[in-house]
Amino acid sequence: VKLVTTHQLQAMKQRGEKISMLTAYDCSMARILDGAGTDVLLVGDSAANVMAGHETTLPITLDQMIYHAQSVVRGTRRAFVAVDLPFGSYQGNSSEALRSAVRVMKESGAHGLKLEGGAEIKDSITRILAAGIPVMGHLGLTPQSIYKFGTYTVRAKEAAEAQKLLEDAQLLQELGCFAVVLEKIPAVLARQVAEQLTIPVIGIGAGPHMDGQVLVVHDVLGITQEFKPRFLRRYAELGDLMHQAVTQYVSDVKSRAFPTEAEGY
Ligand code: KIV
Ligand code: NA
């Protein structure tokens, strides 16, 4: 199999082939997503929500992200594996950012990193890129800043914030980022960014005019059932299926239908 590289993602934008990206946090899931041809697996800090049950992404640690990343890398043969640097591991100063970045790359074997923010984290991005580590930007709704925003509603609806987003996107490209994620912003603005940039722009809740799309896989598969934003399309109801299967298992154990003599040694 031909491996997905930053170079290939760039070529996909140039020829107008859309990039498919999903989150993954463990090896079993990574095997399935990679086997189905997902181009980019994101070890998202949404693991804090989906895996650990936290309300926000803030509590997840660098060590925990590395554990998830190692697991995903082991299950991946073709996809590009990108890892979120977690809250607090890169915003403060660029040498700490580099240290965090190097740890993830060295200890997990992932192929690149994603960092939230624009001009504010310019020095950190520059230093990580200088070490030869591919960086993906993330603008718009950046969940690590949830306590600044106050809500998870659409970002950059006002002119000033939209202008800053356009400038940040341009900056990320100039610094050398290989792609940018835009989360939950107006489709018109997102389209403008995708047209303005030569690097791939990957959207979540950013409309159809993107170079690629990303979603949280547990949402896509219907494993998380409470979360129903407009931008989410559910491709399966695995939560229901799993509930049925486990209900049957419990019932079979109770009724002694499982196991049979043939299922023993
Ligand atoms: O952590 C995450 O899941 C993400 C994507 C939704 C972009 O950052
Ligand atoms: Na994230």
Q: Check whether residue 256 and residue 125 sit in a common domain.
A: no
> Which is catalytic among the residues 55, 183, 195, 261?
183
Domain contains 120: yes
Same domain, 211 and 162: yes
User: Among the atoms of ligand 1, which is closest to the Cα of residue 116?
Assistant: 8
pLDDT at residue 1 in the model = 78
Please check if 84 is assigned to a binding site.
yes
CATH number at residue 76: 3.20.20.60
Identify whether 12 is part of a domain. Answer: yes
Residue 214: per-residue pLDDT? 99
Q: How many folded domains does the chain comprise? A: 2
Do 110 and 144 fall within a single domain?
yes
Q: Is 182 in the pocket of ligand 1 (CB under 6 A)?
A: no
167 is a catalytic site residue: no
Residue to probe by mutation, ligand 1, list 115, 181, 223, most atoms within 8 Å of CB: 181
Whether residue 229 lies inside any domain: the answer is: yes
Inside any domain, residue 139: yes
Do 214 and 134 share a domain, yes or no?
A: yes
The structure tokens listed for 181 are 């994620």
CA terminus-to-terminus distance, the chain: 40
38 and 122 share a domain? yes
Q: Is residue 1 part of a domain?
A: no
Same domain? For 222 and 264 the reply is no
In this structure, the answer to whether residues 165 and 190 fall within a common structural domain is yes
Does residue 121 sit in the same domain as residue 248?
A: no
* pLDDT one digit per residue (tens) for the chain, 265 residues: 799 999 999 999 999 999 999 999 999 999 999 999 999 999 999 999 999 999 999 999 999 999 999 999 999 999 999 999 999 999 989 999 999 999 999 999 999 999 999 999 999 999 999 999 999 999 999 999 999 999 999 999 999 999 999 999 999 999 999 999 999 999 999 999 999 999 999 999 999 999 999 999 999 999 998 889 999 999 999 999 999 999 999 999 999 999 999 999 9
Cα–Cα distances (Å) from 114 to 13, 123, 178, 261, in that order, read 19, 15, 10, 52
Indicate whether 251 belongs to any domain: yes
**Are residues 152 and 32 both part of a single domain?**
yes
116 is in an annotated binding site: yes
| Same-domain pairing of 52 and 67 | yes
Q: Which is nearest to 21 in space by CA: 227, 202, 210?
A: 202
Give nearest CA residue, ligand 1 atom 1. Answer: 44
**Domain assignment of residue 204, yes or no:** yes
DSSP three-state, residue 53: coil
Concatenating the DSSP letter of every residue in 212-224 gives EEEE-HHHHTTSS
Q: Same domain for 182 and 261?
A: no
The pLDDT value recorded for residue 47 is 98
Q: Mark whether 108 and 178 lie in a shared domain.
A: yes
List the domain range (segments joined by +) for residue 251.
239-265
Establish if 56 belongs to a structural domain. Answer: yes
Q: Are 66 and 107 in contact (CB under 8 A)?
A: yes
Rounded to whole angstroms, the Cα distance separating 241 from 166 reads 43
